[in-house]
């Protein structure tokens, strides 16, 4: 029997709201920190199926979430495409060579030596996790959306306003389209591979969608995500797809209508009452409490959780954060949130 989360993503409403948290498998958990100290750096963990599966399962054992999100990273795709990837302590990920430094994007892409076997260990992790979960818990795979992945591939690192990549897309839209198309092709294969290994739903993370002007949003967020959804649905017709365009703001209804995703994730800046009014009727939504409110905890956390639950009481709703959990979040605050959601009866 499908779990509560999977039923909700397929458009069903029940008496209880399913719950999982973005980045729920990670640094806020002492058991994760202990395993990382034993095994080494982030990439070593991500490419070790036994360790990555254990990390994915840790929050399920502790909190009983309805969804287990694969422990991995959106930059696995460019790593498989041939860019070198490293995670520097205190500085975040670095990809080399940065493609924006090349005179010709297509030549830069052709110069990369793809390493598709880097994806094989991720599929092995998915299979291990699925074997370790009960049928009531949905296994979620994921990938980065093309615009967000391209920002890292072009600049070699993250930035606050993605100025390097935005300028590249304006300066050389044809070349940038080639980069986006290459990311789309690998991402479709990657997500289909996760589904074949046991993922029951997937999420497309567009973490930097909010940095784009409206027409650029249409070109680099809506169109590429729509292409992924169309191609992936042809290969995996029963696989629910969650789209998470962080920062989309007023473009959220257009994203929901035009990408073809089954459910849409909302960041913490979105008013849930507004979202419920403007999104397609019956479309599942996911979100959207502020991760910093979870960090703070207390009565405001419970009150806000209840307000979000009330706003979406008339449609399928997956309770989640508006982005990833902060690594300094106290365990007791997560337990407080879980109790508030589990105890809700709208």
Written as one string, the DSSP assignment of 88-129 is ETTTEEEEES-GGGSS-HHHHHHHS---GGGGHHHHHHHHHH
Of 27, 94, 130, 233, catalytic: 27
The pLDDT confidence band at residue 122, using thresholds 50, 70 and 90, is very high
Tell me whether residue 152 is one of the annotated catalytic residues.
yes
Q: Which of 32, 47, 123, 152 is catalytic?
A: 152
23 is catalytic: yes
Number of structural domains the chain divides into: 1
How open is the CA angle 307-312-318, to the nearest 5 degrees?
A: 100
Q: Which domain holds residue 63?
A: 4-342
| pLDDT bracket for residue 1 (50, 70, 90) | low
Residue 92: CATH number of its domain? 3.20.20.210
Exactly one of 7, 48, 66, 73 is catalytic; which is it?
73
In percent, the amount of the chain with pLDDT more than 90 equals 93
Catalytic residue among 10, 13, 36, 233: 36
Is cis: bond before 97, omega within 30 of 0? yes
Note the pLDDT of residue 39: 86
State yes or no: is 345 an active-site residue: no
Q: What is the pLDDT of residue 309?
A: 98
Look at residues 132, 116, 1 and name the one whose alpha carbon lies nearest to residue 55: 132
Which residues, including other chains, have CB under 8 Å from residue 337's CB and lie 6 or more apart? 289, 294, 301, 302, 305
Res. 132 pLDDT band, cuts 50 70 90:
very high
Is 190 known to be catalytic? no
Q: What is the mean pLDDT of the chain?
A: 96
Stretch (H or E) spanning 277:
helix 272-278
Specify the higher pLDDT residue, 38 or 10.
10
Neighbours of 15 (CB within 10 A): 8
Catalytic residue among 7, 23, 48, 190: 23
């Amino acid at each position: 029997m499908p779990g509560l989360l999977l039923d909700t993503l397929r458009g069903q409403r029940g008496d209880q709201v399913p719950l999982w948290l973005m980045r729920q498998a990670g640094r806020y958990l002492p058991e994760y920190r202990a395993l990382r100290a034993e095994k080494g750096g982030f990439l070593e963990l991500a490419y070790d199926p036994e360790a990555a599966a254990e990390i994915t399962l840790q929050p399920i054992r502790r909190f009983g979430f309805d969804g287990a999100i694969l422990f991995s990273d959106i930059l696995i795709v460019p790593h498989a495409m041939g860019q070198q990837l490293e995670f520097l302590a205190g500085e975040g990920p670095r990809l080399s060579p940065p493609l924006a430094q090349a005179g010709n994007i297509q030549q830069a892409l052709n110069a990369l030596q793809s390493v598709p076997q880097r994806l094989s260990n991720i599929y092995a992790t998915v299979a291990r996790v699925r074997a370790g979960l009960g049928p009531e818990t949905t296994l979620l795979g994921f990938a980065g959306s093309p615009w967000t992945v391209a920002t890292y591939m072009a600049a070699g690192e993250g930035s606050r306003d993605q100025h390097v990549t935005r300028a590249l897309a304006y300066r050389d839209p044809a070349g940038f389209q080639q980069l986006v198309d290459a990311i789309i092709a690998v991402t479709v294969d990657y997500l289909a591979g996760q589904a074949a290994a046991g993922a029951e739903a997937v999420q497309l993370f567009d973490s930097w969608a909010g940095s784009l002007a409206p027409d650029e949003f249409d070109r680099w967020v809506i169109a590429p995500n729509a292409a992924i959804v169309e191609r992936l649905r042809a290969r995996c017709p029963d696989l629910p797809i969650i789209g998470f365009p962080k920062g989309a703001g007023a473009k959220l209804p257009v994203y929901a209508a035009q990408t073809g995703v089954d459910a849409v994730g909302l960041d913490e800046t979105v008013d849930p009452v507004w979202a419920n009014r403007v999104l397609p009727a019956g479309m599942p939504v996911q979100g959207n409490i502020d991760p910093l409110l979870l960090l703070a905890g207390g009565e405001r956390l419970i009150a806000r959780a209840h307000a979000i639950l009330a706003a979406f009481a008339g449609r399928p709703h997956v309770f989640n954060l508006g982005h990833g959990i902060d690594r300094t979040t106290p365990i007791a605050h997560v337990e407080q949130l879980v109790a508030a959601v589990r105890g809700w009866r709208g």
